[in-house]
């Protein structure tokens, strides 16, 4: 969560705006960010 908050601050969000966000919204942002990508090939999936 710290990385998300730092990223929002670097993009210009005020810390008070971030702290006023509902916790459910912040958790949803984190889940969307950490979703695994769907790869179409095995080579791409394993970083090749």
Tens of pLDDT along 27-42?
A: 888 888 777 767 677 6
**Per-residue pLDDT tens over the stretch 1-29:** 678 888 888 999 898 998 898 988 888 88
Q: d(Cα 40, Cα 43) in Å, to the nearest integer?
A: 9
In this prediction the pTM is 0.49
Q: d(Cα 4, Cα 1) in Å, to the nearest integer?
A: 5
């Amino acid at each position: 969560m710290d990385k998300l908050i730092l990223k929002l601050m670097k993009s210009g969000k005020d810390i008070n705006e971030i702290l006023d966000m509902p916790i459910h919204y912040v958790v949803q942002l984190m889940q969307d960010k950490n979703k695994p990508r769907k790869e179409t090939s095995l080579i791409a999936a394993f970083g090749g």
